[in-house]
């Protein structure tokens, strides 16, 4: 056997382009089989469209169409009303892998790596040999650009096959048409589920979807407000790895170590900067560009020993409880669920990356009672459809004993059974996916704990709700008794004896022997501006018209002595408080508090408040609490346990 | 015969007054009545029957159910008063349907309205007949050497001989068996035999047991109607004739006997009108199962529970019943009257009944 020299071997050693790499490893990107390929293609296109619209402050209007050919080839068309892509960027964005604007930014966004849409183009050309057609219009008064392209996998560059212009009705927008080999028959349900789920967590988006047979589905917009834009932040010292630290130092403009730490990282003030430098045994005045590897290592270790504030949460853009509830309500209309409950955790941090958990629970109605609950998982407003079992969300849900909360769950572990849908949304600057196909979130302790806490909160609310329902039914009975039956008994007995009908009030007080609280909620559409109530009478803020939620609370004293107590009404945090009568003594961001005047026996008191900034049905149930009175005397409100 | 209803009206009004006065006195309206359960029946030495004891139940407007009951009671007494005024009567079922128009006070089942009618009897110590209410079911059938004079709906008196003037199904007992309606004329028989099932009644009739053994056959039709029980009671008391009860051999049949002999729990307030304390149980007894080697069925769970419940029923506390019930629980079996056909169609009339009757001292050898 002849010996082969290193020089000879070197002849065969060459760079592998990323495009070539992905060509061979398409399963990593979610193109493992023809069903998955279809969903991944739709998903990448939709994510791209939504991100583009949001960045340009445009309410997204998406159009998705799939054309199916008999030989297994599908043409996937995705169109958005985003800002469009300028001509010279089209080949880069659609024809180059790992090219994008969001990779380096630390903030919440759907796509990050810049693989997604170009991977679809690549998959299309690999399986069908056809070009991808991009239509894009970036300026309202200019025609749209039409470009057909393929990816040169050796160079990881687009090769433009054809260029044209076109008159397009849209002011701006982008349309991609790509042919792929895909299994529509099997993928059909998943595509629908994906789009429906997307609509749930993106209430500001409208998605129109046309299936090959011409069936059209419209997932309507339920919110006219764009999500708060996430703001890019600097890396947090807790999450920085040594290599990154060295790299940042190499490119920094800061000349001294202390200013370097303060300018290049988030949450670093004078105190923490000095503490870190001291712990690392370094000097404030050192030049970052001249530091050694050992010094950086010491600094990196020192970060972990210093208490540093959590990063700013402006980089996150959670959906919000009201919107999740509204979306779920809209999408589950046909199921007519008994109730929808949401919970939102405060932001938290894992390895220096901020994240926040939101959870929702739909219960009852026509949901199947004998099947495992349906779990909807979302990460940065993107539905996760596969690998449910390997996801931290599932792990968190299955570790809760749901039997205590009225769902069945053999041995108190595993996915519970019952008429429910669970929803989790993880927002983060960096979602720790288990793989590049972004289908499951890795097992991160901090995230798992937060998800558990969110669901426990939901479960508690469920219990509270059921408890309230039972109580209300009982209350209703008593009310029927005193308002309908008792007067009839009196009337009938008087009639038989030819006597006047006796007075009922003292008997009612004796039978009831409680303070009775009842409420009703009405909605009114108005055009006038509403007056915002704050405690310092001066601050009036004008709000434009919309729906006013009017809540009326009726308090009746059926005790035989006067009653005086405090009343609390819970309100959604995102609501604006309008007119309130009588005057409350406190308006917090999530409740209103009254100190009620003394109510004489058999008298009643009306308490009213208005809420703006909510849609009809967002606030459909009062949650009332009382203080300074024996809770056993009160029907219709619970004891105030403090905030 | 014209009945004077003024006393009934007074009693009915007193129910309304009680409620009205409660309102006036600022008391939660309520009515008290004897508790109508097994636990609250006591033996009445005077009449030799079981009557309600001292336990009472309160119907109070404090609870929703109680308030509904009071409202229904008000409607019912008003309705009864009205019927008396316009000289009409209605069946219990008709009253149930009339209550459809009572709005909130309407009944959800006839069971409810029947029970309330009984409650009213208990509260006012009037009889259902006083309220112009009559039951749906007619009484059962009679065959035997007896002549009954009945005042018919045309107000004419008609004499009916219960062998010669009736067909094979016998004389039909009307719902009203009070003296103003029927009287017993000539009777030539040695005993009354009250039979649970129609099949056995017909067997005895076909085999001419009434003539061959000088018996009056009465069909109970399962749990006997009030009029059937009242009929037997009057016959026994007025004509001084022994009564024997012949039923299946299961716990439910023993209750039929108990209602004939001791008084039913539901109608314990009028036991002295309905019960025939001197009546005796003829069979089929659990001992008969063994002695006659009868075909049997296995006791169901419900049967066993009913038997155990009878062991704690004050009416079944004598040594005969205790012994028989315990025996049956031990056997784990039950049987029917008609199981006697195992030995042929004539066996019951030729062998079983003569043997049992002789044993009980009714027939002389």
- Three-state SS string over A369-424 comes to CCCECEEEEEECCEEECCCHHHCHHHHHHHCCCHHHHCCECHHHCCCCECCEEEEE
Instruction: Look at B19 and A493 and tell me if their CB atoms are within 8 Å.
Output: yes
Q: Which residues pair with A355 in a beta bridge?
A: A348, A428
Indicate the SS3 state at residue B102: helix
CA distances from B216 to A321, B143, B199, B256, B257 (A): 83, 6, 16, 19, 17
Q: Is residue A225 part of a domain?
A: no
If asked whether residues A37 and A156 sit together in one domain, one would say yes
Rounded Cα distance between A444 and B301, Å, is 57
Structure tokens at A499: 């006597």
Give domain status of residue A87, yes or no.
Answer: yes
Instruction: Say whether both A297 and A346 belong to one domain.
Output: no
Examine residue A483 and state whether it is found in any structural domain, yes or no: no
Identify all chain B residues contacting A500, using CB atoms and an 8 Å cutoff: none
Q: How confident is the model at residue B146 (pLDDT cuts 50, 70, 90)?
A: very high
Alpha-carbon gap, residue B149 to A30, rounded angstroms: 99
% residues pLDDT > 70 (chain A)? 93
How crowded is the C-beta side of B247, counted as CA atoms within 13 Å? 23
Helix (H) / strand (E) element for A593: namely: strand A591-595
Q: Which of B19, B59, B120 to mutate to test the interface with A (most CBs of A within 10 A)?
A: B19
| Whether residue A289 has pLDDT greater than 60 | yes
The span from the CA of A127 to the CA of A29, in Å, is 15
Domain boundary among A152, A187, A219: A219
Q: With respect to residue A128, please indicate whether it lies within any of the assigned structural domains.
A: yes
User: What's the pLDDT at A539?
Assistant: 41
In this structure, are A296 and A351 located in the same domain? no
Query: Which of A72-81, A399-408, B26-35 has maximum average pLDDT?
Result: A72-81
User: Structure tokens of B118?
Assistant: 């009984």
Are A280 and A302 a contacting pair, CB within 8 Å? yes
Minimum distance, in Å, between the CA of residue B28 and any CA atom of chain A = 6
Give the sign of the dihedral formed by CA A270, CA A275, CA A280, CA A285.
Answer: positive
- Cis, bond preceding A402 (omega within 30 deg of 0): no
- The region of weakest confidence among A109-118, A384-393, A616-625, B356-365 is A109-118
**CA separation, residue B98 to residues A52, B93, B103, B106 (Å):** 72, 9, 11, 9
pLDDT at A51: 87
Q: Quick one: A59 and A183 in the same domain?
A: yes
**Which has the higher per-residue pLDDT, B134 or A176?**
A176
Residue pair B230/B127 in contact (Cβ under 8 Å)? The answer is no
Q: Pick the closest to residue B226 from B133, B296, B145 (CA basis).
A: B133
Q: Please name which of B261, B306, B278, B321 lies closest in space to residue B50, comparing C-alpha atoms.
A: B261
Helical packing angle, A486-497 and B6-24, nearest 10°: 130
pLDDT reported for residue A430:
86
**Regarding predicted confidence, which is higher, B46 or B286?**
B286
Of A478, A488, A503, the CB nearest to B71: A488
CB A67 within 8 A of CB A211: no
For residue B70, give the chain A residue with the closest CA: A489
Structure-block tokens of residue A249: 């130092």
Q: Are residues A442 and A532 in the same domain?
A: no
CA distance A485 to chain B (A): 7
Residues 505-524 of A with CB under 8 A from B: 506-507, 510-511
User: Chain A residue closest to B75 (CA)?
Assistant: A492
What DSSP string runs through A176-212? EEEEEE--HHHHHHHHHHHHHHHHHH-TT-EEEEE-T
Contact list in B for residue A506 (CB cut-off 8 A) is: 26
- Cβ–Cβ of B78/A496 closer than 8 Å? yes
> In this structure, is residue A335 part of a structural domain?
no
In this structure, the answer to whether residues A25 and A92 fall within a common structural domain is yes
pLDDT at A537: 44
- Taking any CB pair shorter than 8 Å as contact, residues of chain B touching chain A are 13, 16-17, 19-20, 23-24, 26-29, 61-64, 67-68, 70-71, 74-75, 77-78, 81, 103-105
How far is it between the farthest Cα atoms of chain B?
A: 72
User: Where is B77: in which H helix or E strand?
Assistant: helix B64-85
Q: Tokens 């108990």 correspond to what residue?
A: B258
Give yes or no for a contact between A356 and A427, defined as CB atoms under 8 angstroms apart.
yes
Q: A375: which 2 tokens?
A: 């779990």
pLDDT tens digits along B218-245: 999 888 988 999 999 999 999 999 999 9
A544/A594 same-domain check = yes
Whether A623 contacts A520, CB under 8 Å: no
| C-alpha torsion sign, points B227, B232, B234, B235 | positive
Cβ proximity of A195 and A189 under 8 Å:
no
> C-alpha distances in angstroms, B148 versus A442, B158, B170, B195?
95, 8, 12, 20
| DSSP-derived 3-state class of residue B73 | helix
Q: How many H helices and E strands in chain B? A: 14, 17
pLDDT of residue A104: 60
Q: What is the ipTM score, two decimals?
A: 0.74
Average pLDDT on B116-125 reads 88
Residue A434 covered by a domain: yes
Cβ contacts of B24 on chain A, cutoff 8 Å: 502
Query: Residue written as tokens 């059926």?
Result: A558
Give percent above pLDDT 70 in chain B.
98
Mark yes or no for CB contact B20/A488 under 8 Å: no
Task: Supply the pLDDT for residue B153.
Answer: 83
Same domain, A268 and A184: no
Calpha distance B110→A228 (Å, rounded):
65
Band of pLDDT at residue A62, cut at 50, 70 and 90 = very high
Q: Say how many CA atoms lie within 13 Å of A83 toward its Cβ.
A: 10
Count of domains forming chain A: 4
Q: Are residues A390 and A449 in the same domain?
A: yes
- Computed over every residue of chain A, the mean pLDDT equals 85
Containing structural domain, residue A54: 18-219
Which residues of B are tagged catalytic? 97
- The SS3 assignment for A260 reads helix
Residue A174 and residue A134 in contact, taking contact as beta carbons nearer than 8 Å: yes
Give the list of residues 6+ apart from residue A372 with CB closer than 8 angstroms, or none: A415, A416, A417
Tell me which chain A residues have a C-beta less than 8 angstroms from the C-beta of B70: 489
Give this prediction's pTM: 0.64
Phi, psi of A60 (to 5 degrees): -70, 135
Backbone phi, then psi, for B270, in 5-degree steps? -125, 25
Q: A192 and A297: one domain?
A: no
Q: In angstroms, what separates the C-alpha of B133 from chain A's closest C-alpha? A: 19
CATH number at residue A197: 3.30.565.10
For residue A24, what are the contacts with CB-CB under 8 A and spacing of at least 6? Answer: none
3-class DSSP state of A639: strand
Helix axes A116-128, A34-55, angle to 10 degrees: 140
Task: State in words which class domain B6-134 has.
Answer: mainly alpha
Size of interface A-B (CB pairs under 8 A): 72
The last residue of a domain, from among A159, A186, A219: A219
Omega into B284 within 30° of 0, i.e. cis?
A: yes
pLDDT above 70 (res A538): no
Among the three residues A411, A446, A463, which one is the final residue of a domain in this structure?
A: A463
Q: Do A489 and B75 touch (CB under 8 A)?
A: no
Residues A275 and A206 in one domain: no
CA distance B93 to B91: 5
Domain boundaries in chain B? 6-134, 141-359
Q: Pick from B17, B27, B70: which is nearest to A497 by CB?
A: B17
Please name the fold of domain B141-359. Dna Topoisomerase Vi A Subunit; Chain: A, domain 2 (3.40.1360)
Helix B110-124 to helix B64-85 angle (10° resolution) is: 70
CA distance B82 to chain A (A): 10
For residue B354, the tally of other CB atoms under 10 A from its CB is 17
Distance CA A582, CA A564 (A): 14
Largest CA distance in chain A: 128
- pLDDT band at residue A622 using 50, 70 and 90 as cut-offs: confident
Average pLDDT over residues A168-172: 89
How would residue A174 be classed by pLDDT, with cut points 50, 70 and 90?
very high
Query: Mind telling me how many Å the CA of A477 is from chain B's nearest CA?
Result: 6
Which burial class, exposed, middle or buried, applies to B351 when counting CB atoms under 10 A from its CB (0-12, 13-18, 19+)? middle
Residue A81 pLDDT greater than 90, yes or no: yes
> Is A224 inside any structural domain?
no
CB contact under 8 A, B23 and A488: no
- Is A59 a domain residue? yes
Q: Say if CB A496 and CB B77 are below 8 A apart.
A: yes
Q: Which residues contact B355 (CB under 8 A, 6 or more apart)?
A: none
What CATH number should be reported for the domain holding residue A242?
Answer: 1.10.8.50
Model confidence band, residue A101 (pLDDT cutoffs 50, 70, 90): low
Q: Please tell me whether residues A73 and A207 are part of one structural domain.
A: yes
């Amino acid at each position: 056997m002849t010996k082969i020299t290193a020089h000879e071997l070197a002849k065969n050693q060459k760079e592998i382009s990323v495009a070539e790499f992905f060509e061979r490893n398409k399963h990593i990107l979610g193109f493992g089989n023809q069903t998955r390929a279809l969903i991944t293609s739709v998903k990448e296109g939709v994510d791209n469209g939504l991100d583009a619209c949001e960045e340009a402050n445009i309410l997204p209007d998406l159009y998705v169409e799939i054309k199916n050919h008999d030989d297994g080839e599908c043409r996937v068309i995705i169109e958005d009303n985003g800002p469009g892509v300028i001509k010279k960027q089209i080949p880069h964005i659609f024809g180059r892998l790992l090219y994008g604007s969001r990779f380096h930014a630390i903030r919440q966004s759907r796509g990050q790596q810049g693989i997604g849409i170009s991977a679809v183009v690549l998959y299309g050309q690999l399986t069908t040999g056809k070009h991808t057609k991009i239509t894009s219009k970036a300026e309202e008064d200019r025609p749209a650009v039409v470009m057909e392209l393929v990816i040169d996998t050796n160079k990881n560059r687009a090769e433009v096959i054809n260029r044209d212009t076109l008159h397009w009705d849209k002011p701006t927008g982008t349309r991609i048409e790509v042919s792929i080999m895909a299994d529509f028959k099997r993928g059909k349900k998943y595509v629908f589920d994906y789009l429906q789920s997307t609509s749930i967590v993106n209430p500001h988006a409208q998605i129109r979807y046309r299936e090959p047979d011409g069936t059209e589905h419209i997932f309507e917009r339920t919110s006219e407000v764009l999500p708060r834009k996430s703001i890019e932040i600097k890396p947090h010292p807790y999450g920085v790895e040594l290599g990154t630290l060295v790299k940042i130092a190499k490119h920094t403009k800061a000349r001294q170590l202390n200013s370097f730490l303060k300018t290049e990282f988030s949450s670093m003030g004078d105190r923490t900067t000095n503490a870190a430098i001291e712990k690392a045994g370094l000097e404030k005045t050192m030049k970052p560009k001249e530091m050694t590897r050992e010094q950086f290592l010491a600094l990196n270790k020192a970060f972990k020993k210093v208490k540093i504030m959590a990063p700013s949460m402006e980089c996150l853009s959670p959906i919000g409880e009201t919107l999740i509830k509204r979306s779920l309500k809209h999408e589950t209309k046909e199921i007519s669920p008994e109730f929808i409950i949401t919970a939102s955790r405060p932001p938290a941090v894992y390895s220096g990356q901020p994240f926040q958990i939101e959870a929702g629970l739909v219960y009852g109605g026509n949901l199947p009672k004998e099947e495992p609950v349906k779990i909807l998982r979302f990460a940065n407003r993107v539905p996760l459809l596969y690998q449910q079992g390997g996801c931290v969300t599932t792990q968190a849900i299955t570790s809760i004993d749901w039997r205590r909360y009225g769902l069945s769950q053999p041995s108190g572990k595993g996915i519970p059974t019952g008429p429910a849908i669970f929803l989790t949304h993880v927002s983060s600057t960096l979602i720790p996916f288990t793989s590049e196909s972004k289908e499951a979130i890795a097992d991160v302790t901090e995230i798992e704990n937060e998800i558990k806490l969110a669901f426990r909160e939901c479960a508690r609310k469920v219990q509270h709700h059921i408890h309230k329902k039972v109580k209300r039914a009982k209350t209703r009975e008593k009310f029927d008794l005193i308002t309908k039956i008792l007067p009839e008994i009196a009337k009938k007995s008087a009639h038989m004896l030819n006597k006047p009908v006796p007075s009922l009030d003292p008997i009612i007080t004796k039978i009831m022997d409680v303070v009775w609280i009842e409420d009703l909620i009405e909605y009114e559409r108005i055009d006038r501006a509403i007056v915002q109530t704050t405690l310092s009478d001066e601050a009036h803020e004008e709000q434009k018209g919309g729906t006013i939620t009017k809540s009326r609370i009726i308090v009746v004293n059926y005790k035989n002595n006067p009653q005086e107590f405090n009343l609390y009404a819970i309100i959604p945090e995102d609501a604006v408080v309008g007119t309130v009568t009588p005057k409350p003594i406190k308006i917090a961001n999530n409740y209103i508090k009254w100190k009620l005047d003394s109510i004489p026996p058999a008298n009643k008191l009306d308490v009213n408040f208005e809420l703006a900034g909510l849609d009809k049905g967002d606030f459909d149930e009062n949650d009332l609490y009382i203080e300074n009175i024996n809770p056993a005397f009160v029907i219709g409100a619970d004891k105030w346990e403090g905030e | 015969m014209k009945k004077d209803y003024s006393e009934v009206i007074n009693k009915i009004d007193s129910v309304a007054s009680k409620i009205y006065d409660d309102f006036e006195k600022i008391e939660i309206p309520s009515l008290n009545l004897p508790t109508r359960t097994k636990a609250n029946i006591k033996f009445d030495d005077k009449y030799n029957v079981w009557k309600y004891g001292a336990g009472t139940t309160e119907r109070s407007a404090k609870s929703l159910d109680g308030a509904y009951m009071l409202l229904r009671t008000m409607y019912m007494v008003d309705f009864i008063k009205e019927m008396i005024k316009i000289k009409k009567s209605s069946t219990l079922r008709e009253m149930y349907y009339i209550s459809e128009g009572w709005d909130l006070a309407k009944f959800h089942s006839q069971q409810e309205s029947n029970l309330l009618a009984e409650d009213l009897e208990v509260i006012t110590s009037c009889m259902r007949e006083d309220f112009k209410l009559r039951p749906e079911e007619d009484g059962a059938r009679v065959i035997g050497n007896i002549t009954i004079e009945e005042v018919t709906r045309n107000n004419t008196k008609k004499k009916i001989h219960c062998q010669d003037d009736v067909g094979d199904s016998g004389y039909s007992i009307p719902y009203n068996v009070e003296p103003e309606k029927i009287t017993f004329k000539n009777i030539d028989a040695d005993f009354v035999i009250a039979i649970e099932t129609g099949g056995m009644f017909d067997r005895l009739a076909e085999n001419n047991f009434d003539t061959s053994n000088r018996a009056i056959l009465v069909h109970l039709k399962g749990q006997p109607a009030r009029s059937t029980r009242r009929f037997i009671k009057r016959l026994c008391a007025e004509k001084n004739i022994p009564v024997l009860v012949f039923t299946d051999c299961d716990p439910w049949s023993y209750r039929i006997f108990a209602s004939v002999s001791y008084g039913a729990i539901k109608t314990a307030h009028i036991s002295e009108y309905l019960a025939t304390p001197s009546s005796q149980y003829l069979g089929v007894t659990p001992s008969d199962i063994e002695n006659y080697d009868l075909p049997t069925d296995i006791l169901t769970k419900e049967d066993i529970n009913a038997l155990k419940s009878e062991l704690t029923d004050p009416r079944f506390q004598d040594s005969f019943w205790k012994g028989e019930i315990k025996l049956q629980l031990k056997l784990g079996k039950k049987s029917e009257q008609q199981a006697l056909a195992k030995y042929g169609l004539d066996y019951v009339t030729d062998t079983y009944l003569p043997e049992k009757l002789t044993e009980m001292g009714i027939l002389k050898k």
